[in-house]
Amino acid sequence: MGKRPAAERSGEAEDRIGKGVAFDYAPLPGTADEMVDNKGAVRPVWQRFLSHLSAMPEKDLTERFARADRYLRDAGVFYRAYGSKGTGERAWPISHIPVLIDEREWKTLSAGLVQRADLLEAIVADIYGDNRLVEEGVLPPALMAANPEFQRPLAGIRPGSGHYLHFCAFEIGRGPDGNWWVLADRTQAPSGAGFALESRVATTRAFSDIYAETPVHRLASFFGAFRDALQGMKHSGDDRIAVLTPGPANETYYEHAYIARYLGLMLLEGEDLTVVKGRVMVRTVAGLKPIGVLWRRLDSAFADPLELNQNSHIGTPGLVEALRAESVTIVNALGTGVLETRALLAFMPTICHRLLGEDLQLPSIATWWCGQKEEREHVAKNIEKMVIGPAYSRAPFFDDNGESVLGSSLRAAAKDSITDWLSSDGPKLVGQEVVTLSTTPAWVNGKLVPRPMSLRVFAARTANGWQIMPGGFARIGSGADVAAIAMQSGGAAADVWIVSDKPVERHTLLPAEGSFTRNMPGSLPSRAADNLFWLGRYIERAEGALRILRAWHARYAEAADPSQPLLADVSEYLTAVDIDTAEAVPETLLRNIDSAVYSASNIRDRFSPDGWLALNDLAKTARRFHVTVAAGDDASHAMTILLRKLAGFAGLVHENMYRFTGWRFLSLGRYIERGLHMTRLLGHMSGPDAPDGALDMLLEIGDSVMTHRRRYNVNTARLTVTDLLALDPLNPRSVLFQVNEIHHEVEQLPNALINGQMSPFYREAMRLHSGLAVMTPEGMGVEVYQRLERELEQLSDLLAQTYLG
């Protein structure tokens, strides 16, 4: 049988609105709704989607939503939430029902946003240029003089690209009359584009069948065009393009790493950069390399502690000087955060007439700056219809952490004093008309319910002018109150589908089939190399501790006496490295694992989601064991579980990581730490004074019991254990194996040879390798192990001096 006509199916969807538990959908009175028009009919753009949805059992929907949630969880999509309980990573909160908008309406909306982007460019060019808006009285001087986002050192500096703005976002909402308003402009360091991509992927996991047959505009072409635009801003072919992030503590750091990985850009922090003779350079393991374009994700004031905020610890001294020299393009230009000021919305219609000679196609939310007498009186007179908030806030009133006050919520006594408040603090305040935003369907407790929403829409400057992302993401309220839209207040994000009435092009960022160029990975930033090196060391340090503790607790379970000579001896050794055997799962072990997680978090753009999830699973399991596991057999079993999880992580990294410079630093960290671990153990446990059972325990810790039985047809002896664990080049646990691998990796590092001569680091690695390779078991003793330990530590220090400084 063929498919029923769309009209028949859509009519069925209309009939089913309001019927049944799942679809008893009733728009709120006096509020526009995205799915249902003011006559109660389903809008045409929603009819196909709703027809499919109506035919799905609730169990099917639950399974579909679980697929979307699982994707986000497995991909590690998170944002950092700040609140009274501190900060923490939270899963990206998705509202599973997408928002559908007709392509024709979107074209009208896009035209208005393009005009607004041009207007914002003209405004910021005037603010940091001729300053005619202030001189002519269009903008009050007091408003600009007190604006904390106005960066005076940047006045008169024209961007080398010719434009201040390259990437913008707009918070927009639909009013009760069905028209769209701009609630806020995002020009400082707009976030959310990466989350829009992830929301799209998650939503298509839930509705893959509907998405496949619905002509929804794809997002890839938008990102591809902007990537090409970034490439066009480079000053020379040798220039690099990077995303400049404040670091892992930022609430949207996941997105920074995701976008960098998606577009093939470097992810850098301020400390990765230095300015040399007016040029921005990135510190890499191969030396300083030029940066031509920085897509910044940190606020302007923190970008340069030399000329802007001197208390910044995340910026790069000299960055403003590089802008004066026009040697780097920053996207967006420093200082553009001034455009986000809430009070500026009050003057946008007048400014648009003055600079563009046009009416605003998309009006802003009605705003009055209370630094002017007439406007102040208007706000006081209409306080019931107003929300009062900070004039210089860059966030919409529903997302400013409670800094705004709803006039209608004030008591009579408070209203009496509102005039005094406005008079005394007027220049610091704005009044804005209370917004009733449109609603859209959200799935709550097994049915569709209307929830308020706003859209975040993105614009990118490309070779063909401004391009609007055909979608974005919608912020969906957790309740009927508009203030519930904010993520920090429990709001969620929904995908936005721009639906055409004809087939749409399928875009991809992958190159077309045929000829291709194999690009080698770029130079590794020194900070990334440092984190990879220490990730390797912390992981190996944790593994070493786990193996010792497992062996100790297995013997403790048998003897039940920690004063037994072998147990006491190993406890003394562990105490020297700050591990307390009185704790079944010691705090020091947790710190080593947490340090590995921290190092990995600093290089999320170089880390696979699977590896990240495996590492976090290891950390969570260790924390749980810390409070639940008892000493003895229970602890020994727990160590085995943790070792398996750690081996799973190591296996993922080993099998999936590209064998280039980053891999070498990760490997060097592991080899040096494993070499140190085994050297210290041999020095402590293989001597003539070692207690009974020490050699057998040493073989168990070195995972070499079976190998020893196969290799040596004698009982465990000091010489055979020394030969196997110190000098066997084929045993992956031996000291010589680690030194051989170190020598091999060092040979491949940048600048290992300088003008045909070994670098000091390479020479030291060669000396260590040659010295140990000629040793015999009889010649190995406590003094030799102590010397080896010193040489391995010195090698680590020399590596840091050579590549990580």
Q: Which amino acid, residue 79?
A: Y
H or E segment at 650? helix 633-656
Written as six digits, the tokens of 353 are 């007439």
Average pLDDT in the 235-245 region? 92
Residue 543 CA to residue 541 CA, distance in Å, equals 5
Residue 532: CA count within 13 A, CB half-sphere: 26
Q: Terminal CA-to-CA distance of the chain, rounded, Å?
A: 70
Whose tokens are 């003089």? That residue is 145
- What per-residue confidence (pLDDT) applies to 515? 54
Does residue 236 register a pLDDT over 90?
no
Which phi-psi region, left, alpha or beta, contains residue 446 (left: φ > 0; alpha: ψ -120 to 50)?
A: left
Residue 578 CA to residue 610 CA, distance in Å, equals 31
Whose tokens are 């070195």? That residue is 702
- What per-residue confidence (pLDDT) applies to 563? 92
Q: For residue 6, what pLDDT band results from cuts at 50, 70 and 90?
A: very low
Q: How many CB atoms lie within 10 A of CB 706?
A: 9
Written as six digits, the tokens of 613 are 């999830």
Q: For residue 18, what pLDDT band results from cuts at 50, 70 and 90?
A: very low
DSSP-assigned states of every residue in 567-580: HHHHHHHHHHTT--
- Secondary structure class of 156 (helix, strand, coil): coil
CB 204 within 8 A of CB 185: no
Residue 64 CA to residue 86 CA, distance in Å, equals 33
CATH class of 366-433: alpha beta
Pairing status of strand 240-244 against strand 266-268: parallel
Share above pLDDT 70 across residues of the chain, in percent, rounded to a whole number: 92
Does residue 314 register a pLDDT over 90?
yes
What would you report as the CA-atom Rg of the chain, rounded to the nearest whole angstrom? 32
Q: For residue 235, what pLDDT band results from cuts at 50, 70 and 90?
A: confident
Average pLDDT in the 165-187 region? 95
Domain residue spans in the chain? 236-327, 366-433, 524-657, 658-805
DSSP-assigned states of every residue in 165-212: -SEEEEEEEE-TTS-EEEEEEE-SS---HHHHHHHHHHHHHHSHHHHH
Q: Sign of dihedral through CA atoms 339, 493, 495, 177? A: negative
Exposed e or buried b for every residue in 52-83, given b needs 16+ CB within 10 A?
bbbeeeeeebeebbeebbebbeebbbbbeeee
Per-residue pLDDT tens digits for 593-651 = 999 999 999 998 887 888 988 999 999 999 999 999 999 999 999 999 999 999 999 99
Omega cis (within 30) before 755 = no
DSSP state, residue 36: B
Question: How many residues make up the chain in this entry?
Answer: 805
Written as six digits, the tokens of 550 are 């497992």
Q: Which amino acid, residue 427?
A: P
Does residue 123 register a pLDDT over 80?
yes
Alpha helices in 310-391 (DSSP H): 319-324, 348-356, 373-381
- What per-residue confidence (pLDDT) applies to 416? 61
DSSP-assigned states of every residue in 375-421: HHHHHHHTGGGEEEEETT--S-GGGSTT-SEEGGGS-HHHHHTHHHH
Four-way CATH pick for 236-327: 3.40.50.300, 1.10.3720.10, 3.40.640.10, 3.40.50.11290: 3.40.50.11290
Residue 475 CA to residue 322 CA, distance in Å, equals 38
Q: Which residues are CB-contacts of 329 (< 8 A; sequence separation ≥ 6)?
A: 159, 160, 161, 233, 235, 292, 293, 294
- What per-residue confidence (pLDDT) applies to 90? 79
CB 217 within 8 A of CB 45: no
Exposed e or buried b for every residue in 113-146, given b needs 16+ CB within 10 A?
bbbbbbbbbbbbbbbbeeeebbeeebbbeebbee
Q: For residue 505, what pLDDT band results from cuts at 50, 70 and 90?
A: confident
Per-residue pLDDT tens digits for 368-424 = 999 999 999 999 889 888 888 899 988 887 777 777 887 767 655 565 677 788 888
Q: For residue 8, what pLDDT band results from cuts at 50, 70 and 90?
A: very low
Q: Rounded to 5, what percent of the chain is helix, strand, coil?
A: 50, 15, 35
Minimum mean pLDDT range among 319-333, 394-408, 548-562: 394-408
